[in-house]
Amino acid sequence: MRFIQRAKSDAARRLPAEAGSHTNPGRKTLLALALPLLTAIAIAAQGRVTTEKLLKPSPDSWPTFNGDYTGRRFSALTRITNANVHQLSFAWMYRIATGTAGATIKSTPLMVDGVLYFTVPDHVWAVDARTGREIWHYQWQTTGGNHLGNRGVAIYEDWLYVETPDCYLISLNVKDGKERWRKQICDIDRFYYASAAPTIVKDHLIVGVSGDDFDIPGYIQSHHPESGEVQWRFYTVPQKKGDAGMDSWPNEDMAKHGGGMTWQPITYDPELNYVFVTTGNPQPVIAHKNRPGDNLFTGSIVAVNADTGKMVWHFQSSPHDTHDWDSTQPAVLIDDEANGQKRRLIAQAARNGHYFLLDRTTGKAIVSSEYVKGNWSKGYDAKGQPIPDPEKMPQIAGALVSPNQGGATNWQSPSFNPQTGLFYVSAARAFSIYYIYDPSENPMGWGGSDRGGWSESMLQAIDYKTGKIRWSHKWEGNAARSGIVSTAGNVVFTGGASNDLVALDATTGQALWHSILNTSISNGPITYELDGRQYVVAAAGDTVWTFVMNTLVK
């Protein structure tokens, strides 16, 4: 283990934010003038993130992976609007130095008390959210594991939590990045790895696991945030006779090795006390002859009691998947009213191209629709789940399938904007040919793959109530694999196809502004307000880029 602390980063190049016009008299100006001192105090004294703060995040924070527990990545901030977004200024950039070529920031930064926390595999940084100045950098000495990506940290009280590729959950001090404890959460010898951003739910620290090279079961696990002790584990596939879902597998052995990884953070309904787990593809992945059945609870949204880890309901968005289409896309909480009745809803745009709106108390489908046209399913069953077409499952001689393995969407975080009623998804219409490489009766691991491909990408704005596409913004060329944030200022920020951060009108989809960066946006952008200024932060490859609206509202 090596701990690195650099008072001044030579890797970070910074430009000061424009002075702007401090039109706000009184307290705000004083605050602005006293910034450096206050920042130091803030880090020392304010760094306690309580459950209350996580339940009702303030606009000057982004304290969880999705900004809040709903998963909607919507900000109530209005300083940046569709009318003034073209006035956004460049604030600062921070370039990471890991010693590993190609390290890409896929994490969504958290922002608490003026400090951004973000990751790449084996690394965590704390950076001043106003200036990009590095506060500390933590490096984990790895023993292996898949370094594909890391989605970020969780924060609670004065502690950060992060997963490592070699299956550890570590707790760091927010103040200086010093390690408090480490717990093994999975087994790299069985080809697991850990990449998800943990989530704090009251006194539960909930982690997911990754790894679909080999036939292993997925699970989520809850740890005590203070001690790190395991509280419960929920397997996403049945582990023994009598377990729910066993009848959707041919036998216990296949179920026990059936996959269903949990590599995206959960969402949470504090009133129902359910966490919503979204699960990955079944195993063996492509060659599927030895796992007839729906293969529960892979490719599903599963509601789990946050205190016990017991399943409440499930909805399978991709029954018997054979195309590597994880349904790990976040299940986004939506509250509305219909016919005078309050509705608690949950929505997902799944990798297989289908959008689902469910009752989140029961898991019953209200809407099932395609948000990108595909060719692999034959309508919906009585539960609203797509029915796979056996002819479009992988074949020895090849089957032309849409979407491709990358999916109609993937890990890019969607956004739901309650003002426009639109569910925004970073989407692709893509084709490839799926082949079975292992034609045996008992395939394992992968046993096939897809080849070649054609794709076009777009941002789909789905009417959450009907599942219909309100507008589609097609990108010229393949867009960034970027998440989305939408705001009450009627703006959507996401990555475009020109290595750019793009702002679109949230209502119409019209492109309003962009800034061309070093490479494609590689994470989900976030926004927050500090000292009366609204910031927008996105990462592109090894660099964090920050923009600011300097005009202070009177």
Strands of 219-223's sheet in order across: 199-201, 204-208, 219-223, 230-235
Out of 2, 341, 397, 554, the residue judged to bind another protein by CB under 8 A:
397
Q: Which residue has the tokens 């191209």?
A: 353
Q: What mask of x and - would describe binding to another protein in positions 236 to 255, judged by CB under 8 A?
A: -----------------x--
**Residue 264 CB, nearest approach to another protein (Å):** 19
Q: Confirm or reject binding of residue 453 to another protein (CB under 8 A).
A: yes
**Residues, the chain, total?**
554
CB-wise, 222 or 322, nearer to another protein? 322
Out of 213, 243, 359, 381, the residue judged to bind another protein by CB under 8 A:
213
Binding residues among 49-108 for another protein as defined by CB under 8 A: none
Size of the site for another protein (CB under 8 A): 70
- Which secondary structure element, helix H or strand E, spans residue 125, and what is its range? strand 123-128
Using the rule CB under 8 A, give the single segment among 72-80, 170-178, 298-306, 451-459 that binds another protein: 451-459
Q: Measured in whole angstroms, how far is the alpha carbon of residue 422 from the centre of its chain?
A: 18
How far apart are alpha carbons 3 and 178 in whole angstroms? 7
Out of 500, 505, 529, 542, the residue judged to bind another protein by CB under 8 A:
500
**Residue 223 CB, nearest approach to another protein (Å):** 23
**Residue 505 CB, nearest approach to another protein (Å):** 11
Amino acid at 322: T
Residue 18: count other Cβ atoms within 10 Å of its Cβ: 13
CB-wise, 270 or 452, nearer to another protein? 452
Q: Is 336 a catalytic residue?
A: no
Q: What mask of x and - would describe binding to another protein in positions 152 to 181, judged by CB under 8 A?
A: -------------xx---------------
Identify the three-state secondary structure at position 140: coil
CB-wise, 309 or 406, nearer to another protein? 406
**Residue 474 CB, nearest approach to another protein (Å):** 10
Task: For 360-510, list the strands marked E by DSSP.
Answer: 365-370, 377-380, 386-388, 399-401, 415-417, 422-436, 448-463, 469-474, 484-487, 491-495, 500-505
How far apart are alpha carbons 294 and 279 in whole angstroms? 14
How far apart are alpha carbons 113 and 14 in whole angstroms? 20
Q: Confirm or reject binding of residue 442 to another protein (CB under 8 A).
A: yes
Q: Which residue has the tokens 């079975």?
A: 436
**Residue 526 CB, nearest approach to another protein (Å):** 23
Q: What is the DSSP string of 508-521?
A: T--EEEEEE-SS-B
Q: Are 453 and 430 in contact (CB under 8 A)?
A: yes
**Residue 421 CB, nearest approach to another protein (Å):** 24
Q: Confirm or reject binding of residue 498 to another protein (CB under 8 A).
A: yes
Strands of 332-338's sheet in order across: 332-338, 341-349, 354-359, 365-370
Q: Which two tokens stand for residue 232?
A: 């419960």
Q: Which residue, 419, 457, 384, is CA-closest to 72?
A: 419
How far apart are alpha carbons 207 and 137 in whole angstroms? 22
Catalytic residue among 324, 450, 505, 542: 324
Binding residues among 186-205 for another protein as defined by CB under 8 A: 188-191, 193
Q: Confirm or reject binding of residue 446 to another protein (CB under 8 A).
A: yes
Using the rule CB under 8 A, give the single segment among 90-98, 273-281, 339-347, 491-499 that binds another protein: 491-499
Q: Confirm or reject binding of residue 39 to another protein (CB under 8 A).
A: no
Out of 42, 230, 272, 444, the residue judged to bind another protein by CB under 8 A:
444
Q: Confirm or reject binding of residue 214 to another protein (CB under 8 A).
A: yes
How far apart are alpha carbons 512 and 432 in whole angstroms? 33
Contacting residues toward another protein, per CB under 8 A:
142-148, 165-166, 188-191, 193, 212-215, 253, 257, 284-285, 375, 391, 395-400, 402, 404-406, 430-433, 435-455, 475-478, 496-498, 500, 502, 511, 514
Q: Which residues are catalytic?
A: 324
